[in-house]
Amino acid sequence: MCRRLALGLLALLVGAAPALSASPPSQPKAGMPGGADRPEAEIARKAVGTASAVTYVFHAAGTPAAPRAVVVLAHAWGAVDPLTYGGWIDHLARRGYLVLFPAFQQIGRTRPVEASDNAARLVKSALAALEADPEAKPDMAHLALIGHSAGAGIAINLAAQAKTVGLPVPKLVFAVMPGGIASDAASRGIQLTNLAQVDPGTSVITMIGDREFQASDRVSRRILRELTDVPQNKKLFMRVLSDDHGFPQLSATLAAPGSPKEGYEMAAIKVPPDPPVDPKAPRAPRPRWSADMVLSGEQTVLLQQLGRNPVDTLDYLAFWKTFDLAADSAFGGSGDLAVLRADPTFLDMARWSDTWPVRRLHAETPRAVDATAAAAAPARVAPAATKMPVTRKRGSARNR
């Protein structure tokens, strides 16, 4: 009888474990980096371009007192719906930014090698279309780029090509969980352009997670290594650490930056149709089919995980807060990431409800390398950097 009672109590305690566990930190208050700013504000959602070449636009409704700094968010491969990053977009718009989400990929028709040029055309066209919009009111002197996974390669390419293609020179590039980047000119994936063209005044942060991070680690360090004209104090390598101290656990995987939010799905945003086809005009040649036009099994799994990923402490205090602080420094200060790194609040991740500290962010300034080593580096990158392996881990849907 005593044994049965003991087993029953044990089962009750095990079943109640999640409820008894420490809970993770919630979103900071309004006015703080990563915080819940202007919850009462209405967010304008619209599209510029046409159905086959569209950029989604988000900003707080109404005419701003001053031009809005511009944030371009480059999505992961296949994640063409802004819904996937709706939470982050909403946060940025409420902080006063003009957010552009260029759909640089048509699934089944676009090759990775074409994506950077597509993104450049879309962003340039969107800025031109919005320049006379009194509510959008883009500040061309204050542009930041965020890229996730394959979008990280797109973002850094946009920074390198800005002067050539007629885009504003970005003040900040935030490359989160870089992936899908070709290891050399003969490999599939996003081909990095000459990163020595990135303006020396641009601050660049690469951030990876600690769950199956090897490929992202190599690509991140490669990007920073090839930024030969960017000074060391404007480059930063960061790592987000998972933490299972409480419930739900925090898992820093490739899907962690996903923040689905209703109201940001592309189906809810009216997109101008493509112009009618002139029957007398010669037909454009159909693009030659290539296997990298379609999503692989791993990429399909990633999209599913991004769509299920909850908005949590890693969003508020790792991704959103890091960008907020770096953008404040880049737009209103020196953009010196060494100074930002020295600030203890920059790496702090707050505390679980039982006062146990959440594992802090890791940040390091990459070591300087000479130009010859940087030029030779891409040939030494392992082919595994082009893959996006699926992470299988305990109790979470976050994954590659």
Residue 386 has pLDDT above 90, yes or no: no
- 50-108: per-residue pLDDT in tens? 999 999 999 999 999 999 999 999 999 999 999 999 999 999 999 999 999 999 999 98
Angle at alpha carbon of residue 257, lines to 255 and 261, rounded to 5°: 100
- Does residue 395 belong to any structural domain of this protein? no
Q: What are phi and psi of 357, to 5 degrees?
A: -70, 140
Question: Which residues make beta-bridge pairs with 339?
Answer: none
- Does residue 392 belong to any structural domain of this protein? no
- Does residue 253 belong to any structural domain of this protein? yes
Question: Are 17 and 247 in contact, with CB atoms under 8 Å apart?
Answer: yes
Question: Are 139 and 70 in contact, with CB atoms under 8 Å apart?
Answer: yes
Confidence of residue 203 (pLDDT cuts 50, 70, 90): very high
- The set of residues, in sequence order, having a beta carbon less than 8 Å from that of 230 and lying 6+ positions away, is 198, 199, 200, 202, 204
Helix axes 214-226 and 150-165, enclosed angle (nearest 10) = 20
Question: Are 82 and 101 in contact, with CB atoms under 8 Å apart?
Answer: yes
Alpha helices in the chain (DSSP H): 2-15, 17-20, 86-94, 112-130, 150-165, 214-226, 297-308, 313, 321-332, 337-342, 344-347, 371-380
- Can you give the residue range of the structural domain that contains 197? 24-273+291-386
Residue 312's pLDDT is 97
Residue 17 has pLDDT above 70, yes or no: no
Residue 12's pLDDT is 46
CB atoms within 10 A of CB 278: 7
- The set of residues, in sequence order, having a beta carbon less than 8 Å from that of 46 and lying 6+ positions away, is 56, 57, 269, 270
Percentages of the chain per state (helix, strand, coil), in multiples of 5 = 35, 15, 45
- Does residue 3 belong to any structural domain of this protein? no
Mean pLDDT computed over every residue of the chain: 88
Pairing relationship of beta strands 98-102 and 172-176 according to DSSP bridges: unpaired
- Does residue 317 belong to any structural domain of this protein? yes
Which residue do the tokens 């009194």 mark? 134
CA-to-CA separations, 60 to 79, 90, 127, 136, in angstroms, rounded: 24, 9, 17, 9
Residue 6's pLDDT is 53
- Does residue 104 belong to any structural domain of this protein? yes
- Does residue 13 belong to any structural domain of this protein? no
Residue 371's pLDDT is 53
CATH number at residue 98: 3.40.50.1820
Q: How many domains would you assign to the chain?
A: 1
HSE of 206, CA atoms in CB hemisphere, 13 A? 29
- Does residue 396 belong to any structural domain of this protein? no
- d(Cα 37, Cα 372) in Å, to the nearest integer? 46
Q: What are phi and psi of 383, to 5 degrees?
A: -55, -25
Residue 397's pLDDT is 39
Residue 19 has pLDDT above 80, yes or no: no
pLDDT, average across residues 227-251:
97
- d(Cα 326, Cα 332) in Å, to the nearest integer? 10
CA-to-CA separations, 120 to 10, 13, 104, 163, 196, in angstroms, rounded: 60, 56, 9, 11, 18
Angle at alpha carbon of residue 67, lines to 204 and 171, rounded to 5°: 10
Encode burial over 202-227: b for 16+ CB neighbours within 10 A, e otherwise: bbbbbbbbbbbbebbbbbbbbbbbbb
Helix axes 150-165 and 112-130, enclosed angle (nearest 10) = 60
Residue 395 has pLDDT above 60, yes or no: no
